[in-house]
Amino acid sequence: MKEALLYQKLDKDKVQCDLCAHRCVINPGKKGICKVRENNGGILYTKVYGQTIAQHVDPVEKKPLYHFYPGTKAYSVATPGCNFHCRFCQNWDISQITHGEILESGHDATPEQITWKAKQTGCRSIAYTYTEPTIFFEYNFDTARLAHEAELKNIYVSNGYMTHEMLDMIIPYLDAVNIDLKAFREETYRRIIGAKLQPVLDNLKKIKQMGFWLEVTSLIIPGINDGPKEIRDMANFLAAELGVDVPWHISRFSPAYKMKDVPATPLKTLQAAKEIGLKAGLNYVYIGNFASDRDMDTKCPQCGYVLIERLNFGIIKNNIKDGHCPNCGTKIAGVGLG
Ligand code: SF4
């Protein structure tokens, strides 16, 4: 086990973890809400350093990031556990895991090995994804520094619940982030997710101000967050606070984990949500987890010219020239677009 970063020692050997907005106060012998950080005799340890539960080479589009080096590969890494307990989790088998399972499931991989594998497999970036990178911060912090030395980019796919202290530490090494905005009601975050909405909104604004590339994903779930008013509130927040160029991925829910009785999101709900996003002024709104590939294409917000044609998670054609629309010359938001 490795000693954790970002915690305070309290009296009677208690500790306070300052990695995410839960800020758990942990008694000796106990763990935090994420179950992967343990107080051992007044010292906080991370139990998942180097303990990967998934390593895959993915298209960067699968993160999803559509405006960050499109068509490149991201070496994708996860360790077990999460600081959220979403009843609808689509990756629950690796995120909602018990302590015993963590010990059994991990596959040792040092930051040096991850960086080496990313280079060997021709990846442009390393993505900390599938579970929550915040709770394996020490591991991805060390990996991200090596990745930059090896001229690889670093990507977080996150629920956005980290503290500002953590964000300040990772800033120099992060290049792109996709944050889940899972709902726009505090009550939903509290009841279905086990967290609060406001820290996520605050972090979205801070991440945007920090200047690294940001995209946002919202899983639309029937009966939970699919009302037009809530979707409009989300879209208006994104346009007003993050700017109209932030790409918004509207993603289809499939029955999973503790919400197997909820039906998959109908296509018409997703298309209505996309319309709401466009009406709010957002320039790039995509539908994900659905067969309609044309809803995954990038179009010029000025003239409607198809800039990037996508099929599943692959790219059929990228028409962008030097970051601009070849038809009308409009600058297209993103990094490494072609
Ligand atoms: S990472 Fe978050 S959930 Fe885990 S111990 Fe720290 S404050 Fe608690």
Distance (Å) from CA 295 to ligand 1 centroid: 37
Among 44-53, 88-97, 154-163, the minimum mean pLDDT is found in 88-97
26 CA from centroid of ligand 1 (Å): 9
pLDDT number for residue 89: 87
How far apart CA 172 and CA 155 sit, in angstroms, is: 12
Tell me how far the alpha carbon of residue 15 lies from the centroid of ligand 1, in angstroms. 11
Q: Which residues line ligand 1 (CB under 6 A)?
A: 17, 19-20, 22-24, 32-34, 37, 83, 135
pLDDT score of 272 more than 70: yes
Average pLDDT estimate for 273-285: 98
pLDDT above 90 (res 303) = yes
Task: Pick the residue whose CA is nearest to atom 5 on ligand 1.
Answer: 32
- With a cut of 80, say whether residue 107 has pLDDT above it: no
| Residue whose CA is at the smallest distance from ligand 1 atom 2 | 20
Tell me how crowded residue 12 is: count the other CB atoms within 10 A of its CB. 7
Query: What is the reported pLDDT for 1?
Result: 85
Query: Does the pLDDT of residue 102 top 90, yes or no?
Result: no
CA distance linking residue 44 with residue 328, whole number of Å: 56
Segment 157-182 shows an average pLDDT of 96
Mean per-residue pLDDT over the chain, rounded: 94
pLDDT band at 314 (very low <50, low <70, confident <90, very high): confident
Are the CB atoms for 67 and 38 separated by under 8 Å? no
Query: Mean of the pLDDT values across residues 84-107?
Result: 72
Given a cut of 90, whether residue 90 has pLDDT beyond it is no
> Mean pLDDT lowest for which of 38-42, 144-148, 209-213?
209-213
- Quick check: 184 pLDDT over 90? yes
pLDDT value at position 98? 60
The radius of gyration of the chain's CA atoms, rounded to the nearest angstrom, is 20
CA distance 176 to 247: 12
- Tokens encoding 289: 């987890």
pLDDT of residue 105: 54
Show the tokens assigned to 90: 């689509």
The per-residue pLDDT for 256 is 87
pLDDT higher than 90, residue 313: no
Q: What is the mean pLDDT of residues 248-259?
A: 92
pLDDT exceeds 70 at position 291: no
